Structure 1
């Protein structure tokens, strides 16, 4: 296990800037659920995300980033994402170790902290139809808007090749 501290929001923004990726961030009270974040919708256009941190029986980890109201069938999604078995939710310790975030702050931007490439990132194809995608910038007290193409570019710059698959019902 590495002892590197997770990247901060400012380090994330500096990385995006270094890639020439346009992003904007709105600060707000911390939100822990999709229901709590719905009040922000009018202020922040684009596709809003929910993230499922899951693992299979071989301890392969996946982060599924989907539109906030979409449903994912956890009994069958393993057949789509290449998992070795049905998936279950990953433990908070692994979430912090691999993505540098706590439950409630899970985000596709966590790829910046997955330096060991322990996580396979899956972006739902329906979500990727949105021009703008909104994710937490490593903490749940803000929302960062980025283009869907730039989200993929960001992930590739962290050494991850995200799978763009339809994983929602």
Structure 2
């Protein structure tokens, strides 16, 4: 199974259910459907199709990480930000980090590789996943991310993303 909406019914929370929940909570989003995007490069190839010119938007990349004590982290960064896992571990104060396995990703965030997103914290909060977000998100008007599948992208205002986090009880730790 891949991370597209064709298999969303096998997820703990489907993309459709997530979008319905966002609507029920009064959180606004613009939904864009597209071919499955697996990498930042894939995303860059199609983002012009749905980006609004002049919009102060943050396009993100997301990392599901674990430390040696088997603690889980979701780290959301501006898509062009360079990553040094050793430096990131030091910045988070957690030591060495490594990427979590696809099985652990499903177990802890309820998604498959290629669909990692802040919205996966709807599952992560119940599994003690800590959420870190690039401080650049504080300056963005809109944040683009996957709604648990990689053939859809939602654009949400930064305020609505923060309201989502508050609604699900997710603490956001800002990364400078």
TM over 0.5: yes
Higher share of residues assigned helix: 2
Whether the aligned pair in 2 keeps the contact of 1:117 and 1:160 (CA below 8 Å) is no
Matched, 1:24 2:30: yes
The alignment partner of 1:75 has SS state of helix
Measured against aligned partners, the alpha-carbon deviations of 1:4-43 in whole angstroms (never above 9, x if no partner) come to 9510111111221122111111000001111111122212
Matched, 1:76 2:82: no
Cα gap change, 1:115 to 1:164, in 2 (>3 Å):
closer
Matched, 1:134 2:144: yes
Please give the residue correspondences for 1:15-94 in structure 2 after superposition, counting only pairs within 5 Å.
15-45=21-51, 46-83=57-94, 85-94=95-104
For structure 1, list consecutive stretches of 5 or more residues without a partner in the other structure: none
State the superposition RMSD in angstroms: 1.6
Write the distance in 2 (CA, Å) between the matches of 1:135 and 1:105: 9
Cα gap change, 1:82 to 1:15, in 2 (>3 Å):
farther
Matched, 1:147 2:157: yes
Shift of 1:148: 1.3
Cα gap change, 1:14 to 1:163, in 2 (>3 Å):
same
- The alignment of Structure 1 onto Structure 2 pairs a total of residues equal to 162
- Which residue in 2 is equivalent to 1:105? 115
For structure 2, list consecutive stretches of 5 or more residues without a partner in the other structure: 1-9, 52-56
Whether the aligned pair in 2 keeps the contact of 1:22 and 1:146 (CA below 8 Å) is yes
